[in-house]
Chain A
């Protein structure tokens, strides 16, 4: 108890100390509501984030299947689409233009924010931070619970926008004005756009509450001996992620507030000199649409690191455990994540090279953008050297971790192309960009997330996922992802633009008809493989092979010193004390040495 008293400062004298500070996690009566719904246990909140994220991933993936159907088979009529979606969206079994734009917009929003930010950070920050640091729970379990429920409210709001008559937002996931500011501009700019903004504002609140909690917990609640440099890389990654979120999301919120005023307050923050299709000139004057882009990308760029950093952390941990080797270059890993976090704030305008940005300013952003290649390469080489001469166990989690590195390299290399403002003139808004960010952020992020899920599922549910289904899932996903996105590089180099409904009318892009059909077919197969994972996930929660050893992967970190199914409070007795760093694998003739083991007489402090 002395530990807690120090950690919380006032806990010793507090009369209303929070439940989680108590030594005995579950002496109070838990009802269904407090255990599964309004839970303040970080492990349950993590599962809530995970399952909500999975539901979103299925919906977002299904949207991509629908628009790939249109792109692969622009002339076909799928009667079933009209039967299911109605004649407004799928007249004659063909995806209508408005619906197509709604689909791509929602696909982007859902996957970027609700799956790879909420689902990824929300799950693993909540699950791993207290368990790997040796804390009973988050600094504030109450705010942590609110963080999930704001995410839930954001989810419900976004979901409801799918069912309004004029349809959901359809101006792209970036929602650039004037399209997003003028209700008259398109169907999707009406109520759907409002719901999108409200939902995103709620999402910002959720992310803020979560992020503040993650940072405070990591700084304040490390158990005795857990110095910052003994933390597993997962925690470092989640730490930088939280800082990025806390500092960049508020800027997006400001941008949204100005956008709302432009929509409903008659203001002209983003609007100037606009003629709408009917020939009417709008009175708005003096605003700047580019201003929104700056505000958006000031979040938007850190956002891609908010997605990829947790994946990097999970991969580092999974890779070290399964290569039975210490992670190569621990401090270089931390340093490169720090460098990425700093650079994240200094490169946003590389999304805006073709907006009329001053070319000199552009060249500054080129330099800063290309600098990111340095820490990224450090990380990649460290992963490869961690694998080098490792005693590799090809568990599903390990395969996904290796797949992540492969994807990250492939996507990272095209980032060097796109980071050059001159090349960007040709490549901007083409399928090359789609290929780049899907590989480096989307697929890499989701592969990292899968690595984390397969690795920590036994800790979450006390059962294993089915390995056979896992291997099928992995190979279809990895091979499929390359087959989907690799060809898009060719399309993009040939100038094929993004966001078009139908390319068959253009002579230049006609040649890609077969390729588009191929991509669409693979996309459907990959989507089906994800359903296999979903089945595996829910089946294994109830019927999976039971975990019978406390530390099934032979890992050094603290979460595996907790009981197989830890209660609220994580450790039944004293919380463990840490004596060494997290990566003592294959040392002194031993397979691994847990962090809790005191230093031997022949060891120096590390």
Chain B
């Protein structure tokens, strides 16, 4: 991809990209900065409302279920699994990008499939968690959980939870769609013909960003 630039050349004097990246990657970085502000605004809103509220439910009490285990008390085990899956899908994405650098089409296909599976598994986990919470009576505007100190909670615990994890889930969903498109393009040999796998790299940037955001969402809703 990189067009070699002789050493000692002035990077900013025009006629080439000062960062030696093509525009699409630059745009992706700026888009991610922009998106970081979207999530930042959400999380800061959440923080400010929570800070201004007298009590808040204890996440260890709310998120303690595990599929097929009945009435369990396994605080944060399931969400840890979800997080693990998402982070593993980031690892496979890195491997796909690395395979792209080696122009190894088969390996790219293999790791992209793993990444897509990881994304779908995460979405499946989130769907289960939402269904479970819904069955307990939680939804936008409805909060069955009491504050940690036993007093009645406002609905903003669930309001923010569903809005922000939903917005994140929507990002994961978009990422899976993008990854599927990349997989199809790779299977058709588009990147091989082009001689580089930059598109995989750009999809990778987005995917890592979505994972990174989850780390913050996870911290804010499950740990704090």
A residues touching B (Cβ–Cβ < 8 Å)? 3, 5-10, 12-16, 134, 139-140, 143, 208, 211-213, 215-217, 219-228, 230, 246-251, 253-255, 257-258, 261, 265-269, 285-288, 291, 294-295, 298, 577-578
Contact = CB atoms under 8 A, between A and B. Distances in A.
Contacts of B10: 227
B18 to A, nearest CB: 6
B198 interface: yes
Contact of A6 (B3, B24, B48, B198): B3
Interface in B4-58: 5, 10, 12-24, 26-27, 30-31, 33-35, 37-42, 45, 48-49, 52-53
B48 to A, nearest CB: 6
Contacts of B1: 9-10
B2 interface: yes
Q: What 10 A-B pairs come out closest when comparing CB atoms?
A: A266-B141, A286-B154, A224-B15, A139-B23, A254-B41, A226-B14, A9-B22, A222-B14, A250-B38, A265-B140
B28 to A, nearest CB: 9
A27 B3 CA distance: 27
Contacts of B18: 219-220
Contacts of B52: 288
Interface of B: 1-3, 5, 10, 12-24, 26-27, 30-31, 33-35, 37-42, 45, 48-49, 52-53, 140-142, 154-156, 159-160, 163, 167, 193-196, 198
15 contacts: A6-B5, A7-B15, A9-B1, A9-B17, A9-B21, A10-B194, A10-B195, A10-B196, A140-B27, A211-B34, A219-B19, A220-B17, A223-B15, A254-B41, A268-B155
A134 B142 CA distance: 57
Contact of A219 (B26, B31, B194, B195): B26
Contacts of B27: 139-140, 143, 212-213, 215-216
A220 B49 contact: no
B155 A14 contact: no
A377 B154 CA distance: 49
A285 B45 contact: no
Contacts of A269: 45, 49, 156, 159-160
Contact of B14 (A208, A216, A223, A251): A223
B12 A228 contact: yes
A248 B37 CA distance: 8
A195 B113 CA distance: 40
A9 B140 contact: no
Given A285-B155, A291-B49, A247 B14 contact: no
A409 B4 CA distance: 49
Contact of A9 (B3, B13, B49, B159): B3
Given A224-B15, A266-B140, A288 B49 contact: yes
A265 B154 contact: no
Contact of B194 (A15, A211, A288): A15
Given A219-B18, A224-B15, A225-B14, A251 B141 contact: no
Contacts of A250: 34-35, 37-38, 41
A456 to B, nearest CB: 22
